[in-house]
């Protein structure tokens, strides 16, 4: 009797991609991703604001993005007052004005270590930013981050227009 062949083991990989055109030059978009003072203006999903940021944008350098609920979010839902958290990680690839890649270690999901790649390219009207976030532990985490990144990128675009 012939031996049964088995399909290679596959582990599901959960990932998301979001793309936006930002009306700003590529160097300005890159600076907004790497300058802590600018990061504080846009980091955090809807209803959150960045209370702390650091960035050492070089391979092996670390970053921190910390967010807490806005006063408006707390007024609308007092139960959210204790929420918030920080994302930390290490830069794994850095090509100034073109690409940032970094690990993503969120305090609100301990033990989940994923990878974010931010690619920048010139397009008519500004800079196309493509965010790829991969290696989520679950579909739910991916979906939650997809919603969060949508709000973050909206805030990012607004910040660069100011």
Strands (E), 47-84: 48-55, 62-69
Residue with tokens 């965010």: 131
Domains and CATH numbers, the chain: 16-161 (3.30.530.20)
Mean pLDDT in order along the chain per 10 residues (162 residues): 50 88 97 97 93 98 96 90 92 98 95 96 97 96 95 94 77
Per-residue confidence (pLDDT) for residue 13, from 0 to 100: 80
> 3-state class of 1 per DSSP?
coil
CA separation for the pair 157, 154 (Å, rounded): 5
For the beta carbon of residue 66, count every other beta carbon within 10 angstroms: 20
Per-residue confidence (pLDDT) for residue 8, from 0 to 100: 52
Rg, Å, the chain Cα set: 18
Residues 6+ apart with CB under 8 A from 44: 50, 65, 67, 152, 155
- Give me the torsion for CA of 135, 141, 147, 152, rounded to 10°: -60
| pTM for the full predicted model | 0.89
Per-residue confidence (pLDDT) for residue 1, from 0 to 100: 45
Per-residue confidence (pLDDT) for residue 12, from 0 to 100: 63
CA separation for the pair 106, 127 (Å, rounded): 27
Let me know the angle formed at the C-alpha of 107 by 104 and 113, rounded to the nearest 5 degrees.
Answer: 35
Per-residue confidence (pLDDT) for residue 11, from 0 to 100: 57
């Amino acid at each position: 009797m012939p031996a049964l062949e088995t399909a290679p083991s596959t582990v599901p990989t959960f990932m998301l991609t979001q793309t936006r055109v930002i009306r700003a030059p590529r160097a300005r978009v890159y600076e907004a991703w790497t300058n802590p003072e600018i990061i504080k203006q846009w980091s955090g999903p809807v209803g959150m604001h960045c209370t702390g940021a650091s960035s050492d944008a070089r391979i092996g350098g670390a970053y921190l993005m910390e967010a807490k609920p806005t006063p408006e979010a707390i007024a609308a839902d007092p139960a959210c007052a204790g929420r918030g958290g920080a994302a930390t990680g290490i830069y794994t690839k850095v090509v100034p004005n073109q690409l940032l890649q970094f690990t993503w270690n969120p305090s609100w999901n301990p033990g989940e270590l994923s990878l974010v790649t931010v690619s920048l390219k010139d397009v008519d009207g500004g800079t196309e930013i493509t965010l790829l976030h991969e290696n989520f532990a679950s579909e739910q985490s991916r979906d939650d981050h997809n919603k969060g990144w949508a709000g973050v990128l909206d805030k990012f675009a607004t910040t660069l227009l100011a």
